[in-house]
Structure formats: structure tokens, C-alpha cells
Structure 1
Amino acid sequence: MRDITDTFQPNIYCALINARNWARGKKHRISPSGEQNIYRVTDGQNELFICRRKRHNRSKNGVLAGVEALAKQYSLEHIPLSPGDWFIDCGANIGELGVWAKNRDLHYIAFEPEPLEARCVNLNAFGGENRVNRLALWSEDTLLDFFSKPGTADSSAIEINDFDAVRKVQAKRLDAILTDLPANNKVVLKIEAEGAEPEVLAGSENMLSKIAYIAIDCGFERGKESAHTFTETNNFLVDRGFRVEIAKFPRMTMVYKNVQNV
């Protein structure tokens, strides 16, 4: 159901939210960014750019607290990383994990096909530079129907229920894009593909030997049936030398370790 505040002009919406936040003792404030449909959230020390209004509340305890909470959903705090290591973010959304990676001096690579979300990745992780890869990842280089539902972060290359729109997007194999991964730094691959995790992994096969850890969402998000992808994902990775290090339920986010690499 649509919230009546969704119809408010940006300045009015922000003023109402800020008044409510002040009354409730929340740290964050929201303002129009100057770019259409993009908002700036700040806690007085840090800022984050969002493009879906209700996402501001993830920063209610502070911008970095919200970022760290997302990282913990993927158990990233348990992966041993050092400055200069690599973090590849497949399904970056607005790039909150780019902020997390930047704060740890990691080399960050992001993939996000939704236009507004991709712009936020550039603002949040790359200082506004256009460095995000605005494409879908798949098991082959092709043109895909992309079923867009960005308001709830459910957009997918696999048809879902109640999508907002469908459009054509360029899709590529990840191992055809990243052909020169470092040999002396850890590489972490995070995958959130809204049910297309098996296809993204298949398109990464030729680079898996260089991946130290994979953080992946295998939850119930695949297609109209909302099926999980754990069985296929787990079989694929175990056959290629990975083992589950951490399993988090009920969301079903897993951390896999490459036992031949680490």
C-alpha cells in the first residue's frame, strides 16, 4: 500500500521526517540532494545518498551504524581483510558496502543495473565519479529482460511477482570483466542477485580460484515461486573447493571460504 507521504514534494517530505526524527531522538536528518529523486542523509558527521525515501530510517542510529548493520547481515566482520584487499559487490544497491569497504581501505568494484541506485553508488563510494558497472551479471554475455522493483530492492533478471516494469539490460559474465585480479591480495566476492545467484556464480567460474571468500544471499527470492538458491549454490561452490564458514538464518546469507586459496 502506498504511503500518503510518497506524494509529498521533497522539501515538505524532508521537513516532516526531520521534525519526527527530532521528536523521537533519532540522529539522522534528510534533505534533497539537488539531483532528482536522490536524497542526502546525514547524522552530522557522515552522509549517505539514497533514492528510495523510506531507506533513510536505516541511518536512525547514525549513518555508519546503518552501514555496519548491513555488513553484519553478510557476516563481513568475520572475514580477515587488510588494506589493499579487494571487495567485489554484485548487487550493490546504493553502495552502502562501498562505504564499508572505503573505511577499510579496500579496493571496491560495484555492479548495479538500477539507474538511480547506481548513481547513489557513485555518490557514496566513488565521490560522484561514474565508476559503477551498470549492468547485470549472468552466465553468458547477452541481453536480458530485467524485472524492476527497486522500491523494495527486489529487482531481478528472473521474472518476479508484481514487478513495476520490465526493460532490456546488458548482462555479462563476471569473469569476462575482471580478468586481472591480484595475486597478492585477498579478494572477497559478495553476491546479492535476487534469486539469480546460480547464474552469477556460473559466470564467475573462471576466476573463482582467485577468490578467497564469497558472501552470498541464498534466500527465498528466486522467481515467482520465491524459491531459495542454497542447494544449487552450495553444490556449485563445494565442487570447486569452497566450504561454508558461516551460515546465517533465516535470511540464508552464507560465507564460503576457498580452502585452496586461503
Structure 2
Amino acid sequence: MSKIFFDTKIRFSYDSTADIYRSYDPEPHVTIHKRRLGMMLAGHLVRGRRLAYDYLLDQIDFQDDDWIIDVGANTGDLALAFKAMGRTVNVEAFEPSPLEFSALQQNLEACPAIGHYTAHQLALWNEANEGLTFYLKASKADNSLLPIEGATDTITVECKKLSDVLTDPNRRYRLLKLEAEGVEPEILLGAQDLLQRVDYISADVGFERGIEKQSTLPDVTNYLLGQNFEIVGFGATRLVILFKNKRAP
């Protein structure tokens, strides 16, 4: 049963059967955690502009039909950033958590800024593995392949190397958005064969790695500098670094 519980410029509804929330502006966008509804109160465009700012996407000259890799896609809010920027892009999105993945599929399908997309219910790692433990936090988006403080549940997930999934040698990616709750170094190691076809990497290197909550800034930066990338932007709001491939057009 779906019930509209708030009606202004942005409409909101709650689906009690699926236990999900939807905001409409005008197309629907699914939110699975009630505490995140506040991010949508000002509308999808405002949420999108905020994400574009946080991930430094406003520093990249995107064109329609660019390909984007969204690692740690969660429920697919990044699509709203491209809606806000007035671009239609294609997306390869990765999210291992079943609840978030279901919402991700719905949001990519509904967003007018998304052309072609594939949603992968996979965890990414530095090697293939059919059964790694994935740690979940109830009511939050902080899930990780590493043990984390406050984990309320675990599931077993399939892991692959990013370069083993995206194998088309003729496809170039304008952006790799990387936010993986502390396992960014492992994901990059598993993407080595792909990186030469990526123009920009927006990496969240905040203090999220493991129980110790370490930053992945040193490991991510040192690795990408060695892969012919350079730093072209830094965002202190959520500790994001924007890297550019020196061979990018």
C-alpha cells in the first residue's frame, strides 16, 4: 500500500509493502532509509547539485552519451547530479547490498538523465571471490567488505575485479566515481587494466576504512599517481579527490 504523507512542490509517499519511500519531482526517486528523506526536501535538482559539488563533477566537461562508472552506487542518487547538470549519460553501476540494489535499479530506470545503464549486484575487490563477507548497518548506507563499527548484519556477496567486468576495449569512460567505505585501494588494484580508458576518477577517501576508521587518501593517491593520473581537485566537505588521466583528451 502506498500513501502520500507530504504534499508541497515535492510529493512524498511511503510504500508499506516494500518499506520504501518515494519522492516525486516530477519522476519518482526511491529512498530506503527514512533518515535520508531530508536530502530530498528541496527537490531532486538541489540534491543533484549538492552531489555534483561534493564529488567535484562540476569541474568536468561532460557531454551527452558519456559513460560513467558508479562504484558504491547505493540507491543511485548520483543520477540526480547529471539531471542537475543537464546531461544524459550512460552508467555502469555497482552495488552489492540487496535493498540498495533494488532501489538503484528503479532510480536508474526512472531518471531522465540516464540513457543506457547496467546495474551490477556485485562487490568489487582486487580478485574474484564467490563468497566474501559484507558488513551492513541497519538504517544507514555505511556497508563495507571490511569489518566496521556498528555493523548490524552480514551477508555473503560475490566479488569481481572491475577490469574483469568492463572488458570492452573500445569503450572509454569519462568518470569513475569511487566510494566504497574504505576498500577503494583494493578496487583500484582490480581495475588496473581498465584505468587507461578512464578520464577522471572522483574518489571518496574519507575516514571509513575498517574498525580503525582510517583514510584511504595515501594509498589511493600514491597508486593513481603511479598510474599516470594527476590531482586536479580536492573537496574537503566529504574528503574527495578528483584525479585526471594525463592521457585524457
- Is 1:230–2:217 an aligned residue pair? yes
CA distance in 2: counterparts of 1:95 and 1:78, whole angstroms: 21
Partner of residue 65 from structure 1, selected from 46, 61, 66: 46
Q: Is the 8 A contact 2:44 2:80 kept in 1?
A: no
Q: Matched residue of 2:127: which SS?
A: coil
Considering only aligned residues, what root-mean-square deviation do their CA atoms show, in Å? 2.3
Q: 1:252: how far off? A: 1.2
- Is 1:32–2:5 an aligned residue pair? no
Matches within 5 A, 1:1-262: 11=3, 15=5, 18=6, 27-33=9-15, 36-43=18-25, 45-101=26-82, 104-127=87-110, 131-142=118-129, 143-149=131-137, 151-183=139-171, 185-262=172-249
Unaligned runs of 5+ residues in structure 2 are none
CA distance in 1: counterparts of 2:11 and 2:214, whole angstroms: 37
TM-score by length of 1: 0.85
Q: 1:55: how far off? A: 1.3
Moved more, 84-93 or 60-69: 60-69
Distance 1:150 1:117, change over 3 A: farther
Bigger relative contact order, structure 1 or 2 (CA pairs below 8 A, ≥6 apart): 2
Q: Is the 8 A contact 1:139 1:203 kept in 2?
A: yes
The superposition leaves residues 15-72 of structure 1 with CA deviations (integer Å, 9 ceiling, x where unpaired) of: 3xx2xxx6xxx743321247512221124x3431111112111111112211221221
Q: Matched residue of 2:148: which SS?
A: coil
Distance 1:55 1:181, change over 3 A: farther
The superposition leaves residues 199-229 of structure 1 with CA deviations (integer Å, 9 ceiling, x where unpaired) of: 0100100111111000010000000000000
